[in-house]
Amino acid sequence: MAKRTKVVKIIADDYIGQELTVAGWVRSFRQNRFIALNDGSTIKTLQIVIDFENEDPEVIKLITVGAAVKISGKIVASQGRGQTVELIASEIKVLGVSDAEQGPGQYPLQPKKHSLEYLREIAHLRFRTNTFGAIFRIRHHVAFAIHEFFHNKGFLYMHSPIITGSDAEGAGEMFKVTNFDIDDTPKGEDGKTDFSQDFFGKATNLTVSGQLEAELAALAFSEVYTFGPTFRAENSHTSRHLAEFWMIEPEVAFADLNDNMDLAEEMLKYVIKSVLDRCGDDLDFLENRLIDEEKVKPTNERSPMPLKEKLQFCVDTDFERVTYTRAIDILKNCKPNKKGKFQFKIEEWGADLQSEHERFLVEKHFKKPVILTDYPKDIKAFYMRMNEDGNTVGAMDILFPGIGEIVGGSQREERLDVLLARMKEMDIHEDEMSWFLDTRRFGTCPHAGFGLGFERLILFVTGMANIRDVIPFPRFPGSAEF
Ligand code: 4AD
Ligand code: MG
């Protein structure tokens, strides 16, 4: 195949007068003369002008929306409005037909507005729309910026296992991994399935978090991060939960809760800024899409800022750092709580916060991102460091507007005796966790880390409302299509 030039380069660089080859998919074909060609390298399309008089009518017939084409020709300054350059076609090859074969209108993505629900049903094709093109190009840039951020700081990228033999994290229900014929599993004397005969010689699950393994590595490399898929079998049908999602988990030795908050805030700002710097066209498109969508909403439900302003605000503003105890005071005394507007009323200290409370704090009270710290030990995991008061732990959750919790982390309990006591209280067996406890036995040190929900961050930077629209193929209760 002749070397092709990507549309993003043709639009950005000066190719006027040059003969080039492009390849992509037909977005529209007007007057048998103008093709809008998209190759996914940018949200923009390249206009291709066809010499209709001299073109083979059989080829013209095959050029319909959705067809894959390869076209060579000369780049010229555009005569029409809406684009600066266009390509005058001299050679057209239809690589893959669309409606020409299947019948008019059969291609599921005709050039009109489709609902997000419909597009979710055809997630195998939705990459080809402007909205999902923008989302997944941004998703790529966010992932890249995260690696760049940590790499530049000297963090080591650590791959934590996906299949795990430990279930002590307590982050949620786990999916079992087994090689057994599930209709006929071998039974032990107690009549229960005998996992010692299973593939790994024990019961195993898909991981809910890479943290515990990241801690092991942090106590050798000082600064590490994981970035991988995690799985939770919770029956959550919300717009912020997935059964399979990606998590970034840095873990830092010789760091305390404040260092942890500083790192998380710096990382989020770095990544959001890099999206603003690198994804301008896609952000413009998503911002306008949101403005259109919000026109039909009542004014009080519209977001207070356009998308890019919201992102810039986040980069420029210090996150508010507030203890859980203070947050509970604010929530107890706030109007929606007193007037019974919350689904879950905040009655007393110790209550777990729901996303309605988190969003109230961020969107109505502080009006900026909030880091909540020092939660009651009873609503947090066993590994969080016990504070002097004996009631709270050195936890931190970062709450974002429109999302609620985006980051969850803590300083870790590095004191063997305190950790053992906590595990006993929570009925976590010491023998199962001996490998984890070894880090506290040999060369333990203060350390801290956090987990960033990748899709929740993508929700924030794209302004999308449903987490199922920011991962290519969402897995949630009742659905594992594609
Ligand atoms: O708060 P979580 O459960 O924390 C942990 O798993 C810790 N081990 C992290 C650490 O300290 N290394 O999860 C971390 C983040 C949440 O703040 C949220 O953004 C995201 O992961 N998250 C989910 N995202 C999508 N779907 C779900 N079901 C999620 N559950 C958590
Ligand atoms: Mg959490």
Separation CA 207–CA 466 (nearest Å):
24
- Both structure tokens of 131: 């909205």
The pTM score is: 0.96
Residue in the block written with tokens 């490399």:
221
**Superfamily holding 7-111:** Nucleic acid-binding proteins (2.40.50.140)
- State whether the beta carbon of 453 lies less than 6 angstroms from ligand 1: yes
Judged by its nearest atom, the ligand closest to the C-alpha of residue 409 is 1
Q: In whole angstroms, what is the distance from residue 67 CA to residue 412 CA?
A: 55
Does residue 407 have its Cβ closer than 6 Å to ligand 1? yes
Which atom of ligand 1 lies at the shortest distance from residue 243's CA? 28
CA 450 to ligand 2 centroid distance, Å = 9
Domain boundary assignment for the chain: 7-111, 130-173+208-469
State both tokens at 60: 């013209």
CA dist list (Å): 164 to 176, 407, 429: 10, 23, 16
Decide if 34 contacts 48 (C-beta within 8 A): yes
Q: Is 245 in the pocket of ligand 1 (CB under 6 A)?
A: yes
Ligand 1 centroid to Cα of residue 444, in Å, is 25
The pLDDT score that the predictor gives to residue 133 is 98
Ligand 2 geometric centre to CA of 405 (Å): 7
Residue 405, C-beta contacts closer than 8 angstroms, at least 6 positions apart: 355, 358, 397, 398, 399, 453, 456
Phi/psi-derived region of residue 103, left when phi > 0, alpha when psi is between -120 and 50, beta in every other case: left
Q: Is the CB of 408 under 6 A from ligand 1?
A: yes
Cβ 232 under 6 angstroms from ligand 1: yes
In order of 138, 177, 208, 241, 353, the CA distances from 475 in angstroms are 20, 17, 14, 9, 25
Return the ligand 1 atom nearest residue 407 CA: 17
Q: Which ligand is nearest to the CA of 173?
A: 1
Closest residue CA from atom 25 of ligand 1: 241
Identify the residue whose C-alpha is closest to ligand 1 atom 31: 453
**Distance, CA 123 to ligand 1 centroid (Å)?**
25
Supply φ then ψ for residue 61, to 5 degrees: -60, -30
Successive 10-residue mean pLDDT values, the chain, 482 residues: 91 94 96 96 97 88 96 92 90 94 88 92 95 98 98 98 83 89 94 95 95 97 98 92 98 98 98 98 97 86 89 98 98 96 95 94 96 97 97 98 96 98 93 94 98 98 97 96 92
Amino acid at 396: M
Could you tell me if the CB of 210 is within 6 A of ligand 1? no
Cβ–ligand 1 distance for 250 under 6 Å, the answer: no
Q: Does domain 130-173+208-469 have CATH number 3.30.930.10?
A: yes
